[in-house]
């Protein structure tokens, strides 16, 4: 049984990429680890308006974290491995791995990432879209 696409209307031309993006977002939304915030940072005289994604990654070092931009997705991966030399009487903090993805709009730029006090912050800037108005000439082809 196939599902009906909301973008199947004949007036919605070229929206197949948006439909694919929505499918990717739905698949990635399953795991809640690590928790994160997304905030808007106001424009200042030295910096444009930015977005900041902050992930709670306590216990991860800089070497155990990786931030990549893969096509239009920001991918954050964390990899911890068990230390076999340690003997735990109680283990409440598991060594774990995660992958968190964020789908970015075309043109979104990653300014940088910072790890401080167990929080990984990634700053993004959204360029101002250029407003383009273009006149389309009409050619009359019914000359008599």
Q: Above 60 in pLDDT, residue 1? A: no
103: β partners: 73
pLDDT band at 2 (very low <50, low <70, confident <90, very high): low
Burial class (CB in 10 A: 0-12, 13-18, 19+), 89: exposed
Instruction: Specify the pLDDT at position 86.
Output: 86
Tell me the average pLDDT across 57-66.
94
For 5-34, the pLDDT digits (tens) are 666 666 666 666 666 666 665 565 566 789
Instruction: Specify the pLDDT at position 118.
Output: 94
Q: Above 80 in pLDDT, residue 80? A: yes
């Amino acid at each position: 049984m196939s599902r009906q696409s909301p973008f199947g209307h004949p007036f919605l031309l070229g929206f197949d990429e948006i439909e694919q993006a929505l499918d990717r977002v739905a698949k990635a939304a399953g795991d809640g680890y690590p928790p994160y915030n997304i905030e808007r940072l106001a424009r200042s005289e030295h910096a444009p308006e930015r977005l900041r994604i902050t992930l709670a990654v306590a216990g991860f070092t800089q070497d155990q974290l990786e931030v990549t931009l893969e096509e239009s997705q920001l991918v954050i991966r964390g990899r911890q491995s068990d230390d076999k030399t340690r003997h735990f009487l109680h283990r409440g903090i598991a060594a774990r791995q995660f992958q968190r993805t964020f789908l970015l709009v075309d043109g979104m730029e990653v300014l940088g990432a910072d790890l401080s006090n167990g929080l990984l912050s990634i700053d993004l800037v959204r360029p101002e879209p250029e407003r383009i108005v273009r006149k389309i000439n009409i050619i009359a082809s019914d000359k008599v």
